Amino acid sequence: MKPPIKVAITGAGGQIGYSLVFRIAAGEMFGTDTPVELRLIDLERQVPIIDGVKMELDDCAFPLLKKVVTTTDLAEGFADANWVILVGSVPRKDGMERKDLLEINGKIFVGQGQAIEKNAAPDVRILVVGNPCNTNCLIAKASAPKIPANRWFAMTALDENRAKTQLAQKTSTDVDAVKNMIIWGNHSATQFPDYFHATINGKAATELIENDWLENSFVETVQKRGAAVIKARGASSAGSAANAIIDSVRRIITPTPEGESFSMAVPSDGSYGVPEGLIFSFPLKSKDESYEIVQGVEHDELAQTKIAATLQELQEEQAAVQGMLG
């Protein structure tokens, strides 16, 4: 059997962590032939919870799960980790300005970036989930300059999955018939779900669905879906976020089928006019344990305007945390 993949998860005592760890242990992330070790990391007040989660994991008797560590210590949690999933972050509260949220979380992600660089395995890859995930990823990456840029990811798979479902339901088709549903930019209400290049059973979505619905209802629904879930269930998207984490890692480590792409925020290489280094969601293709940004996607004036808006927001966030970027 293969050697275990060591997966460290921050905020492991929260709803997303609870929805995630059992699926990793069951083999859904890395496959049913790959053993795993889990490092559940959280704050001191969450220790009883993550200890309880460990008890449940033990009680499941997962054949692939070789070890579970619960800790508040980043060095212990990140030690020799092959994958780090940064879920934990401070949520935005009523009356809190976005810049305040960036500052509070920024300090957390500085420390996490430093600890990852010092303790994780040489092949470590990092997926940032805690919001604002693009800029949190930017901060953590800047705090770990020795880790290559292509090891850093911020999650927009949840947005892609939400968008695919909206298109599938609108056309009464299966969700796996929807391909190349690109999310551009920030994981926020400014993101651009690019319906222009999405296909449904090989046909352009724009040929099957009226433009007014796509431009208005569709875009707004995807952008505001997180808030709608909170309003409906009184809590944030936990199950769907955990599912998107599984999807994200699998899309990164599995070769992308020819002619397809997936959405993920990664450090820009200057593609599509996005300043180099900014964490921006692009269409990606995975290949040979790495990835490339899909080139040659053309945008009309409307799409350019949408992408410019999300780019501006990310640049404003970058300016707000400039002092943490070294």
**Catalytic site residues?**
187
Tokens 């070890």, residue located: 67
- 242: three-class secondary structure by DSSP: helix
The b-or-e profile of 1-33 (16+ CB within 10 A means b, else e) is eeebbbbbbbbbbbbbbbbbbbebbebbbbeee
CB 208 within 8 A of CB 174: no
Two tokens, residue 16: 């997303």
> What is the C-alpha to C-alpha distance for residues 271 and 8, in angstroms, rounded to an integer?
31
Q: What is the DSSP letter of 214?
A: I
Closest CA to 25 of 60, 71, 73: 60
* DSSP output for 112-143: HHHHHHHHS-TT-EEEE-SSSHHHHHHHHHHT
Both tokens assigned to 85: 């999933």
How far apart CA 324 and CA 326 sit, in angstroms, is: 6
